[in-house]
Amino acid sequence: MFESLSERLGGVFDRLTKAGALSEADVVSALREVRTALLEADVSLPVVRDFVKRVQDKATGSAVTKSVTPGQMVVKIVHDELIRVLAGEGEPDALKIDNPPATILMVGLQGSGKTTTTAKLAKRLKEKNGKRVLMASLDTNRPAAMEQLGILGTQIGVDTLPIVKGETAVQIARRAKTQAAMGGYDVLFLDTAGRLHIDEVLMDEVQAVRDLAAPRETLLVVDGLTGQDAVNVAREFDGKVGISGVVLTRMDGDGRGGAALSMRAITGKPIRFVGLGEKMDAIYSFDAERVAGRILGMGDIVALVQKAQETFEAEQAERMMKRFQKGLFNMNDLKMQLEQMMKMGGMQGLMGMLPGMGNMAKKAEEAGLNDQMLRRQVALINSMTKKERANPDLLQASRKRRIAAGAGLEVAELNKLLKQHRQMADVMKKMGKGGAMKQAIRQMM
Ligand code: GDP
C-alpha cells in the first residue's frame, strides 16, 4: 500500500531533514516535488493544490523551536496535513449496528470486491463483536454471484438467505428483512447487484431496495486500484443513493493510492475500511493516522517534533504567565497571542470551537475581524525593531511611518493595533495585580 508514493516522498524529506538551515526556496522546491508525487499517485488536482498550499502556509507561519530542524518541522506539517486530508474532521464512526436487525446495504460496481467485502465484514462482526449475521445476495442477474455468497458464508460460518429462483431484488430484500427479524439476527447484509458501469437501471434498483430496506449503513465498495475513477464512482453513487461510507479494496496491490487521498476531500464521505487481500481476514478499519504514517514513513521525526512542540508551548505559556503577573505586556507578547490565535484556526476556528458561536464567526468576519487582519497585525509587529517591540511608547510619527511602510500598510492600521495593545495591557495589569489572572486561567481550563 502506497509504496511508490512513500518512496518518492521519502526521498524528498530525507534531503530536507538532512539540510541544516532551510531557505524558503528549499521548501518551495521540496513542495514542488511533493506536488508531482501526489499527482503521479493519481490524487485529484484540486486536492493536491489545496494540500500543497496549506503546507506552504503553515511552513512559513510556524514557530520553529530550537530542538528541531526546519526540515523536521516540514515533515510534521506534511504528516498532519495528510491526516487531515485522509480523515476530514474527526474519525469515522464504527458501523451502526444497534437496534437489531440492523441492515447494511452493500453497493458498488461489478468486480469491485463487493461480495468478498460483504463476507469479510460479516466474519468480522461475528468474531469481533459476537453478532449473529445474515447475508443475502440480490444479484438476480448473476446466479453465480448468489452462489458465491453462499459458498463464502459456509466457509466463514455465517448464514445466507436461501436462494429462490425468479424473485426480484426488492422481493429478496423483503424476504431477507423478515427472515432477519424472525431468526433473531443482529445484522443483515444486503449484497446488491453490480454492473460494469453506472446505469439508470442499476441505480433505480438500488434505490428501490434502499427504500424498502431502510439501511443503517450504505457502504460503497470501490476498487482502490482505479484511482480517481473510484472517487468519481463514489460521487455518483452518493448523489443517486446516498452512501454512509466507502470501502476501498485491493489496497494490497501496487495501486498508487490516490483514491484514498482524494476520497474524503472530494466526496465528503469517510473511508471506513480497506481491503488488503483476497483472504477473509484481509480487511482493516481505516485509520488515517496509521495510513499517514505509512505514506511518510517518518514516525520518529513526527514524534520528535510533537514532543518539542509540546515542551515549547508549555514553556511559552509559563513565561507569558509570569510576565502578565508582573503587569508586563509588550508587542512581543501581543504577537505571541496573535500567532496562537492563528494556530488555533484563526478567528473562524476559535469561534467554531465554542458551542453556539458559529454565527458569531460570521459577524466577526463582517466586522473585519478575520484571519487576514491577524496576519496584518503580525506583519506590523514584525516590522518593528526589537526596542520598539519591547517599548511601544517609543513609537512617534516617523517610526510609525517606517513600520507601516515596512508591512505595506497604512499608519491608521498601526494606530489601531497600538490602541488594541494598550487596552489589553491595561486589562493584563489589572488582572495581574488582583490575582484575577490565576482565576481567569483556571476558568479557561
Ligand atoms: P464483486 O463483483 O464486486 O462482488 O467482486 P468480488 O467480491 O467477486 O471480487 C472480485 C475479485 O476481487 C475476487 O477475485 C476477489 O478475491 C478479489 N478481491 C476482493 N477484494 C480484494 C482485496 O482487497 N484485495 C485483493 N487483492 N483482491 C480482492
* SS3 assignment, position 374: helix
Q: Are strands 245-249 and 217-223 parallel, antiparallel or unpaired?
A: parallel
Instruction: Note the Cα 226 to chain centre separation in Å.
Output: 22
Domains of the chain: 3-91+295-300 (1.20.120.140), 102-286 (3.40.50.300), 326-444 (1.10.260.30)
Is 374:342 a contact under the CB 8 Å cutoff? yes
The CA distance from 248 to 260, in Å, is: 8
Q: What's the predicted TM-score (pTM) here?
A: 0.72
Q: What is the pLDDT of residue 322?
A: 80
- CA dist list (Å): 385 to 98, 316, 335, 340: 63, 21, 13, 21
Q: What's the gap in Å between 161 CA and the centre of ligand 1?
A: 21
The CA distance from 324 to 320, in Å, is: 6
Nearest CA to 191 among 231, 140, 126?
140
Q: What is the pLDDT of residue 443?
A: 47
Q: What is the pLDDT of residue 212?
A: 95
Q: How many CA atoms lie within 13 A of 150 on its CB side?
A: 11
Tell the residue nearest (CA) to atom 5 of ligand 1.
Answer: 113
Q: What is the pLDDT of residues 402-423, one digit of tens each?
A: 999 999 999 999 999 999 888 8
Q: Which of 278, 279, 283 for mutating ligand 1's site (highest number of atoms within 8 Å of CB)?
A: 278
Q: Does 120 sit in the ligand 1 pocket, CB within 6 Å?
A: no
The CA distance from 113 to 197, in Å, is: 15
Q: Would residue 108 be called left, alpha or beta, if left means φ above 0 and alpha means ψ between -120 and 50 degrees? A: left
For the chain, the straight-line distance linking the first and the last C-alpha, in angstroms and rounded, comes to: 42
Q: What's the gap in Å between 282 CA and the centre of ligand 1?
A: 11
3-state DSSP helix/strand/coil percent for the chain, to nearest 5? 65, 10, 30
Q: What's the gap in Å between 112 CA and the centre of ligand 1?
A: 6
Q: What is the pLDDT of residue 445?
A: 42
Is 221:192 a contact under the CB 8 Å cutoff? no
**pLDDT tens-digit profile, the chain (445 residues):** 677 888 888 888 887 777 666 677 778 888 898 899 889 888 999 999 999 999 888 877 665 566 677 778 888 888 889 989 888 765 556 888 888 999 999 999 999 999 999 999 999 999 999 999 999 999 998 889 999 999 999 999 999 999 999 999 999 999 999 999 999 999 999 999 887 777 888 889 999 999 999 999 999 999 988 888 999 999 999 999 999 999 999 988 776 778 888 998 899 999 999 999 999 999 999 888 888 888 887 777 777 777 777 777 777 777 777 877 777 888 888 888 787 777 665 555 555 555 555 555 565 565 556 677 888 888 999 999 989 998 888 889 999 999 999 999 999 999 999 998 888 788 777 766 655 555 554 444 4
Ligand 1 atom with the shortest distance to the CA of 108: 3
Nearest CA to 289 among 57, 86, 54?
86
Q: Does 258 sit in the ligand 1 pocket, CB within 6 Å?
A: no
DSSP character at residue 256: -
Q: What is the pLDDT of residue 188?
A: 98
The CA distance from 356 to 349, in Å, is: 13
Q: Does 224 sit in the ligand 1 pocket, CB within 6 Å?
A: no
Nearest CA to 237 among 198, 266, 263?
198
